[in-house]
A and B are shown apart, each in its own frame.
Chain A
Amino acid sequence: MIHLTDINKRFGEGPGSISAVENVSLEIADGEIFGVIGYSGAGKSTLIRLLNGLEMPTSGSVKIGSLEISAIKGKELREARQKVSMIFQHFNLLWSRTVRENIAFPLEIAGVGKVEREKKVAELIEVVGLSGRENAYPSELSGGQKQRVGIARALANDPEVLLCDEATSALDPETTDSILDLLTGINERLGLTIVLITHEMHVIRKICHRVAVMEAGNVVEMGDVLDVFQSPKEAITKRFVSQVTEPIEAKQAMAHIKEEFPSGTLIKLVFVGEKTEQPVLASLIRKFTVDVNIVQGNISHTHGGAYGTLILQLLGDSAIIEEAIHYLHENDVQTEVIGND
C-alpha cells in the first residue's frame, strides 16, 4: 500500500540546514495499523506529512498504491489528499462551524452535492458516536468528542489511508482508550490502512500491528509489535518498552525493596504468548531453596498476543540463585538480572 524508498528530508539549505528524516525506507501493507514512535524532534511529524504531500522529500520517493505522492502537485495532489486523510493532536476543527458543518467541510471541498453531503454526514456522526451533538460548536465539546469530529471529518471522503498525528496525546488515558478502540473498529470494518505517530508506547501496544522506532531522523528499529516488546534491541526502544512494562511505581517499589533486603538479586522475567499462562514461578519455588519477593508484574495485550513482565527479588545462596535463573532460561522465560548492586 505505502512504499517509502530512501527518503531524505532537509529543511533549509547550506550549512544551516536541518536534516529531519534520513534514509528511511519502509513498506506498510494494505489494512495494517502501523505505528511510528519517537521523542519530539525525532522526525516523525515530518515523516507522516510526507505521506500526504504536506512536506515533499528532498530525495527519495513516496508511493501510496500506484500513485507517487512525491511527484505530483496542484490539482492531482489535492485530489490524492482526499484519499489520504489526517487527524491531529489539537484536532484543528473550525470553531466557526458546528459538528455537522465541520464534517461536511471535506465533502464541500470534494464538490459533493448538498443532499448527498447531508446523508454522508449523518452516517459519519453515527459511526463516531456523536448522535445528538450535531449542532454543537467545537467549543462546547470535550477533547474526546472533538477528536471524534476530527475522525468523522477524516473519513468523509472514504479515504484509503488515515494518518494520525499524535491523535491521542492531548487526551486523558480513558479518552485515549476510547479513541483507540474507535480507530481499531474503523480499521477492521473499513479495511483502512492507519499510520500513526506517537510518543506513547501504550498507543503502539494497544492497536498497532507493526512499529518503527525513530531517533534523530532515522528509523532505528522496526518490526511486529510483539517482537519489539519481547526483545527490543536499541536502547531507545528499551526505554519506550519500559514505559509500558515498568511504570514509575515499579521503580519506587524496586528502590524500596533494595533498601529492605540489600543482599537480594533483582531479576526481570519476560513472558510471551502462552508462557504467560504457565505456573513457572510456582515450580521455581518448589525446586529451589530461594525466597521470592514479587516487586511488580503486569500483562500487556498487543495485537500479536499477550506479553507479561514480572520483577522478582531472589534471596538465598548465590549459587542456587544462579541455578534458578538457569532453570528459567531453560523454560523459555527471558530472564534478566537488573541492578544487582
Chain B
Amino acid sequence: MIENLFPNVDWTKMWEATVETLYMTTVSTILTFVIGLALGVLLFLSGPGQLWSNKLVNIISGAFVNIFRSIPFIILIILLIPFTKFLLGTMRGPDAAMPALIIGAAPFYARMVLIALQEIDKGVIEASKSMGAKTRTIIFKVLLPESMPALVSGITVTAIALVGYTAMAGIIGAGGLGTLAYLDGFQRSREDVTLVATITILIIVFIIQFIGDFAVRKFDKR
C-alpha cells in the first residue's frame, strides 16, 4: 500500500537521511545552547548598570551578535566555506554543516538569552548582592534558574530554526533530509520523495515543540 503511494521512496535512504538531520540538529542545538548562553550572559552582564558593566565589551559582543544574526543563512554557509574547509578539511557531510549552523544560530539564541535575563526582577539580583553573593553565584544560582522557562522556550525556537537550517545546508551537500529532498526529490522530479521528507521534518519539529513546551511547564513555578 505504502509502496503504491510513494513508489520512488527508498526507505533505507530516507531513514539514513532522517538520522543525519537529527544528528545535525541535536549537536548544533547543544553547541548553540552553550555558546549562545555564554554570549547572552556576557551581553547582559556587560550592559550599563550591570555587574560587569563595560562599554567596550558590550559594544563588541553586541555588534558580533547583530551582524551574524542578520546574515541570511544560505549566504552565511557560502561565506563560511573557506573557514569550514580550513577547520574540517571538507565541505561535505553533516559535520561540515556544523560551523555554519552554530555561527548562524548562536547569536540568534544569545539575543533571546539577553531578553530572558532582562526580564529578571532587578530586586532579586540586589537581594543576592545584599546576601554577599559572588558574581559566579549570581549567574549560576540566580540568573540562570530564574530565567529558565524563557531560556528553554528560546532554545526550542532555536532548535526548530536549526531543523530548517539543516535542510538549507542540505542543498550544498550537508546530507540529511534537505539533500534528499533536493537531489532525489526535486532534481529527479520525484515529488513523493520530497513529500515524505517534508512530512518527516514536520514530525521532528512537532516533537521538539512538544518536548520544549513540556520542559517550560515543568520549570515555570511563577
Please give the residue numbers on chain A whose beta carbons come within 8 Å of chain B beta carbons, in ascending order. 52, 54, 77-82, 85-86, 88, 90, 92-97, 105-106, 108-110, 137-139, 153, 157, 163
Tell me the complex Cα distance, A79–B130, Å. Answer: 10
**A95 and B133 form a contact (CB under 8 A):** no
Q: Is B134 an interface residue (CB 8 A)?
A: yes
Give 1 or 0 for each of B137-151: 1 = CB within 8 Å of chain A CB: 100011001101000
| Chain B residues bordering chain A, tally (CB within 8 A) | 21
**B121 and A137 form a contact (CB under 8 A):** no
Hey, which chain B residues are within 8 Å of A138, CB to CB?
221
Q: Is B10 an interface residue (CB 8 A)?
A: no
Q: Is B222 an interface residue (CB 8 A)?
A: yes
Tell me the complex Cα distance, A139–B133, Å. Answer: 24
Tell me the complex Cα distance, A288–B126, Å. Answer: 62
Hey, which chain A residues are within 8 Å of B145, CB to CB?
94, 96-97
Q: Is B2 an interface residue (CB 8 A)?
A: no
Tell me the complex Cα distance, A33–B137, Å. Answer: 32
Hey, which chain B residues are within 8 Å of A94, CB to CB?
124, 142, 145-146
Hey, which chain B residues are within 8 Å of A85, CB to CB?
130-131
Q: Is B123 an interface residue (CB 8 A)?
A: yes
**19 additional A-B residue pairs with CB within 8 Å, beyond A94-B142, A94-B146, A109-B134:** A54-B130, A78-B132, A78-B133, A81-B130, A81-B131, A81-B132, A82-B132, A86-B127, A86-B130, A88-B127, A92-B121, A94-B124, A94-B145, A95-B221, A96-B221, A106-B132, A109-B128, A137-B221, A139-B222
Q: Is B13 an interface residue (CB 8 A)?
A: no
When C-beta atoms are compared, the residue in chain A nearest to B124 turns out to be A92
11 examples of A-B residue contacts, CB within 8 angstroms: A54-B126, A78-B133, A85-B131, A86-B127, A88-B126, A88-B127, A93-B124, A96-B145, A105-B131, A106-B131, A109-B133
When C-beta atoms are compared, the residue in chain A nearest to B133 turns out to be A109
**B146 and A95 form a contact (CB under 8 A):** yes
- Closest CB in chain B relative to A168 CB, distance in Å: 16
- Closest CB in chain B relative to A96 CB, distance in Å: 4
Tell me the complex Cα distance, A60–B10, Å. Answer: 81
**B126 and A92 form a contact (CB under 8 A):** yes
Q: Contacting B141 at CB < 8 Å: which of A80, A108, A139?
A: A108
Hey, which chain B residues are within 8 Å of A92, CB to CB?
121, 123-124, 126-127
Q: Is B217 an interface residue (CB 8 A)?
A: no
Tell me the complex Cα distance, A90–B133, Å. Answer: 19
Hey, which chain B residues are within 8 Å of A137, CB to CB?
221
Q: Contacting B123 at CB < 8 Å: which of A81, A88, A108?
A: A88
Tell me the complex Cα distance, A95–B132, Å. Answer: 19
Q: Is B129 an interface residue (CB 8 A)?
A: yes
- Closest CB in chain B relative to A110 CB, distance in Å: 7
Tell me the complex Cα distance, A315–B222, Å. Answer: 62
Hey, which chain A residues are within 8 Å of B127, CB to CB?
86, 88, 92-93
Hey, which chain A residues are within 8 Å of B141, CB to CB?
105, 108
Given contacts A81-B131, A108-B141, contact A95 B123 (CB under 8 A): no
**Nearest 3 interchain pairs by C-beta:** A92-B127, A81-B132, A78-B132
Hey, which chain A residues are within 8 Å of B128, CB to CB?
105, 109
Hey, which chain A residues are within 8 Å of B133, CB to CB?
78, 109
- Closest CB in chain A relative to B182 CB, distance in Å: 44
Most central of A79, A85, A109, A138 by chain B CB within 10 Å: A109
When C-beta atoms are compared, the residue in chain B nearest to A87 turns out to be B127
Hey, which chain B residues are within 8 Å of A86, CB to CB?
127, 130
Give 1 or 0 for each of B102-137: 1 = CB within 8 Å of chain A CB: 000000000000000000010110111111111001
- Closest CB in chain B relative to A325 CB, distance in Å: 52
- Closest CB in chain A relative to B49 CB, distance in Å: 11
Tell me the complex Cα distance, A293–B126, Å. Answer: 53
**B221 and A139 form a contact (CB under 8 A):** yes
Most central of B126, B132, B145 by chain A CB within 10 Å: B132
Most central of A78, A93, A94 by chain B CB within 10 Å: A94
Hey, which chain A residues are within 8 Å of B124, CB to CB?
92-94
Tell me the complex Cα distance, A163–B130, Å. Answer: 10
Tell me the complex Cα distance, A93–B221, Å. Answer: 12
- Closest CB in chain A relative to B127 CB, distance in Å: 4
Hey, which chain A residues are within 8 Å of B221, CB to CB?
95-96, 137-139
Tell me the complex Cα distance, A106–B129, Å. Answer: 10
When C-beta atoms are compared, the residue in chain B nearest to A90 turns out to be B123
- Closest CB in chain B relative to A238 CB, distance in Å: 33
- Closest CB in chain A relative to B3 CB, distance in Å: 52
Tell me the complex Cα distance, A137–B133, Å. Answer: 22
Tell me the complex Cα distance, A285–B133, Å. Answer: 66
Hey, which chain B residues are within 8 Å of A110, CB to CB?
132
Hey, which chain A residues are within 8 Å of B130, CB to CB?
52, 54, 81, 85-86, 163
Tell me the complex Cα distance, A88–B125, Å. Answer: 12
Most central of B127, B129, B148 by chain A CB within 10 Å: B127
